Structure 1
Amino acid sequence: MPTITSASVKAYLYDTFVPKVHNKPENPIRLLRGLNHQQRLTFAAAFMAWMVDAIDFFTVSLSATEVAAAFGKDVSDVTSAITTTLMLRPIGALIFGVLADRYGRRIPLMIDLALFTVIEIATGFSNNLSTFIGLRAVFGICMGGEWGLGNALAMETLPHDSRGIFSGILQEGYAAGYLIAALIYYAAVPHLGWRALYWISIIPAIISLVLVYFVPETDVWRQNRAHSTENHKRLYQLTLEMLKKHWLRCIYAVLLMAGFNFMSHGSQDLYPTFLKGQLGYSASQATVATVIMNIGAIIGGLIVGYLSEYYGRRTMIIWASVLGLCFLPLWMLPTSYSPLVAGAFFMQFCVQGAWGVIPVHLAELSPPGFRSTFPGLAYQLGNLISASASQIEAVAGASHKLPNGKPNYARVQMILLGVVFSVVIVLTMIGTEERGKDFMVSDDKELNNNTEHMEDLSSSKPAADAIDGEEKGIESKERMDVYVEKSDSTLPKEA
């Protein structure tokens, strides 16, 4: 039975937290300007589609009070539509992911965006709550499908050396969508009513649909599709082969995304309630804090995503989570407004900074032929697991009262986020990464040679781009084997 020594563990932890970086970081402006016309168009389409996702999702939370008044219902009845949306997102990830891996990224994404448009128009015409919730249920299926489609389209098109920074930008399309939805709400709803919010939100969806129309299909998908056609394999056969070889990776990705979604929902969903219900700040003050924390999210996603290209995907996720733990007191303990807002900014910088690595990280971990289904389904299943985060915080906060009788949301949120950050750190440490993976070469190697482990693919880049495994973040188990050699002992193959 292999044994783990203190020397090998120490070396492994040192490499995880303090990696050696031999490739000098590129100027981010050069990376942003270095795309060709096709790559710019493709990324713009993927970013817009994810932003549309967020705009349409937050229309309900922003207009819940007005919708409840219009239908003569309680706000809690309206917000059940949010829960319905979250619950159905994994179905959409599976349906649209399978379609995208089978028929290409473009057409399913265009169908998805067209459905967004129809659903938003119809939602504005809802004449009762049942119709409203039913439409949001269909929207949940569409929302679940979009992330995997857009992510695969972007990551398969971008140059591998700039994926990190564009991963951060892409993921923060969600925060940008939240901000735009809030701006539309405050500009339109007081004057035109809540229905206008849903009708106006179709404008970004139409723009995104037009962009996707002009985007070409990715070469990576064409290669994978040609291979499956040549081998006369049906989708279910390819899926069974993938699950047989990569079942552990699939489970790991879902667990990791559950931790990430708990981290996101746990730090965002109840925060306005904490400001208003526990500390007594006004709705406008809570809105300003929400805007500022989303600005922090966008900046964090961009910076941490960019650095992940040079310091490693896992290392930057871990350090963002460690910093998040450090900012917990500033996030919840102050009672004056300015320190609280600063805490919200830095907390979302860390939370969404870690999230900024996820699009490229999951794309690189995806088995060939499943680069839409694998990330999208893992993301949405993790989101389903974490859907109860705000409910847990609300119930626990109400059961732990302050001396003045108000719910103690601060304590509950700090405890939950402390646990979640720790879990994300551990899950990330025991995981793996394939930073800098060339999809065309690595996919071709596995599909044609029928390799048994994706972990062997991180060294399959072309000779012109070949780089030492330590530079490109080779897999954790391979690094551990090296350390075991150095310490004259052995380690188990699985981290």
Structure 2
Amino acid sequence: MSLQSNSPTAPGSPAPRHSVFAPFRALTSMQRRVFSACFLGWTLDALDFFILTFCLDQIGTTFHIGLETVAESLFWTLAMRPVGALLFGLLAERIGRKPTLMINVACFAIFELASAFSPTWPIFLVCRALFGVAMGGEWGVGAALALESLPKEGRGFFSGLLQEGYVTGNMLAAALSGIFAVAVAHLGLTGFAAGWRMLFVIGACLTLLVLALLATVDESPAWIAGRAAKLAKPPVALGLKLASNISQMTRFAPTFLFLTLMMFAFTSFSHGTQDLYPKFLKHDYHLSAPVISLVAMTGNLGALLGGMTCGTLSERIGRRKTIMFAALLAIPMIPLWAFSHTAVMLAAGGFLMQFMVQGAWGVIPVHLNELSPGPVRAILPGVAYQLGNLLSSRNGVFQSRATEHLFHGHMAPALGWTVLIVGLLVALITSLGPEAKGVDMSSNAAA
């Protein structure tokens, strides 16, 4: 079955609007499969990343290093993502979204598995850097394939749901960590089977599900149309094609620079509230691994609901207003999220904080793709996103240093100040930017 049209239903049969999931039910079977594959790819990519955040202590013990040094592995993963966004974005424009995404998924599974068997800290760092390259390519190519294949009706909903694949991966990492800790305690597991390395192996193996699903989906109809238009023209040498892609990026430099700055604020917002939070719960509150897992899962549930809610809301009030609304409302959640006295209250704070943080994030896939011109849609959003990650990649290191040197070993103030500063920054930058809600994305993707 081929996706030749973005029409969600047959003529004269409008999709029902009585529930938030009506846009998903209105999709064709192939459109559902495409979206599910892209969602699952982003989910398991995030799972493989967030497993690391639940193993920082164990990894430090294995390699005899401290928290600040272990946090360098987060930095190198994030720092290398722009490289992957550029490489896989260029490849997606040349050979198509689907095959590029399959290559990408295979790469991050391989590097995750290699991390599990790293014998020394330097080799582990190299594996995490290579994983970062693969991780960097997934979001841009997957978002392009999904959003180019779906109808513009309900695009905000699909954007919110797609972005929450990242949150779902975080939630699965929390669940896997908690279940694994219980299994180790009750089943008497020892050695390799009881350590952090096994979690990395499990994460890598789960990625095979994405490859199986991607094998059944169609290519982006927008890329196919653009490809046909290219084939009708005289052939161009590979070097000239690369130069053309770079020229296109230069042409849209103002948009690219603005989106990069915006993504710096957004990635600081998400990583600043997520990456060290499990460590914070153990370090400041001495919670057990199963309790930490439950608190993290509660926060991720809020994130999932926030992304879908705000993504849908953006269809009514606009992308910018929704982002600003969610970012500013994260600030009043700081006391409950970082300074509560019980695990239950921390979980409630985590739910509300991540509802707002990921509520703002839920608008990002559609907002970036709508603002990106068709000829560079597989490249520009992903590269801008990952360059933003690069600019914020030492966030975890800075938070760790602030904890040790400014707040006498207490992580709560470092986390709280992060949300206050970055929440205001997200709202400010978003307010200064453009909006292209509802723009046609059905053609010229590869022109």
Q: 1:175 to 1:419 in 2, by over 3 A?
A: same
Is the 1:292–1:345 Cα contact (8 Å) retained in structure 2? yes
Deviations 1:398-451 (A, max 9, x none): 3334xxxx534333333332221111111111111211122135x49x96xxxx
TM-fit CA distance, 1:355? 0.4
The 5 A counterparts of 1:67-86 are 67-74=59-66, 76-86=68-78
Residue 426 of structure 1 aligns with which residue?
428
Given residue 34 of structure 2, which amino acid in structure 1 is its aligned partner?
Answer: T
| SS of the residue 2:154 aligns to | helix
Structure 1 distance, partners of 2:401, 2:442, is 49
The answer on 1:435 being equivalent to 2:427 is: no
Q: Give unpaired runs (5+ residues) of structure 1.
A: 1-23, 448-495
Residue 297 of structure 1 aligns with which residue?
303
Residue 58 of structure 1 aligns with which residue?
50
The answer on 1:247 being equivalent to 2:249 is: no
Is the 2:177–2:293 Cα contact (8 Å) retained in structure 1? no
The answer on 1:149 being equivalent to 2:141 is: yes
Moved more, 56-65 or 234-243: 234-243
TM-fit CA distance, 1:153? 0.7
TM-fit CA distance, 1:37? 0.8
Structure 2 distance, partners of 1:392, 1:71, is 22
Structure 2 distance, partners of 1:63, 1:389, is 18
State how many pairs are aligned: 418
TM-fit CA distance, 1:199? 2.1
Residue 465 of structure 1 aligns with which residue?
none
Q: Give unpaired runs (5+ residues) of structure 2.
A: 1-15
Is the 1:58–1:181 Cα contact (8 Å) retained in structure 2? yes
Q: 1:336 to 1:163 in 2, by over 3 A?
A: same
Structure 1 distance, partners of 2:284, 2:55, is 22
The 5 A counterparts of 1:279-358 are 279-358=285-364
Q: 1:118 to 1:410 in 2, by over 3 A?
A: closer
Residue 486 of structure 1 aligns with which residue?
none
Structure 1 distance, partners of 2:410, 2:122, is 34
TM-score for both structures, normalised by structure 1: 0.78
The 5 A counterparts of 1:72-471 are 72-74=64-66, 76-188=68-180, 190=184, 191=189, 192-194=193-195, 195-232=197-234, 234-401=240-407, 406-440=408-442, 443=444
Greater Rg over alpha carbons, structure? 1
Is the 1:242–1:367 Cα contact (8 Å) retained in structure 2? no
TM-fit CA distance, 1:76? 4.9
Q: 1:272 to 1:60 in 2, by over 3 A?
A: closer
Deviations 1:350-370 (A, max 9, x none): 000110111111111111121
| SS of the residue 1:126 aligns to | coil
Q: 1:416 to 1:251 in 2, by over 3 A?
A: same
Q: 1:94 to 1:36 in 2, by over 3 A?
A: same
The alignment's C-alpha RMSD in Å is 2.4
Given residue 92 of structure 1, which amino acid in structure 2 is its aligned partner?
Answer: G
Structure 2 distance, partners of 1:337, 1:53, is 28
Given residue 155 of structure 2, which amino acid in structure 1 is its aligned partner?
Answer: R
Structure 2 distance, partners of 1:125, 1:377, is 30
Given residue 93 of structure 1, which amino acid in structure 2 is its aligned partner?
Answer: A
Structure 2 distance, partners of 1:400, 1:240, is 44
Structure 2 distance, partners of 1:188, 1:409, is 26
Structure 1 distance, partners of 2:52, 2:284, is 23
Given residue 132 of structure 1, which amino acid in structure 2 is its aligned partner?
Answer: F
Which of 17, 27, 31 lines up with 1:39 in the alignment?
Answer: 31
TM-fit CA distance, 1:63? 2.9
| SS of the residue 2:442 aligns to | helix
TM-fit CA distance, 1:279? 4.3
Deviations 1:156-214 (A, max 9, x none): 01111122111111111111112222333343462323332222223331110011111
Moved more, 320-329 or 33-42: 320-329
Is the 1:224–1:368 Cα contact (8 Å) retained in structure 2? no
Is the 1:324–1:351 Cα contact (8 Å) retained in structure 2? yes
Structure 2 distance, partners of 1:397, 1:124, is 29
Structure 1 distance, partners of 2:276, 2:202, is 27
Identical-pair percentage: 37
Q: 1:231 to 1:181 in 2, by over 3 A?
A: same
**Misfit runs of 4+, over 6 Å:** none
Q: 1:62 to 1:306 in 2, by over 3 A?
A: same
TM-score for both structures, normalised by structure 2: 0.86
TM-fit CA distance, 1:117? 2.8
Structure 1 distance, partners of 2:275, 2:55, is 15
Structure 2 distance, partners of 1:125, 1:269, is 23
Residue 460 of structure 1 aligns with which residue?
none
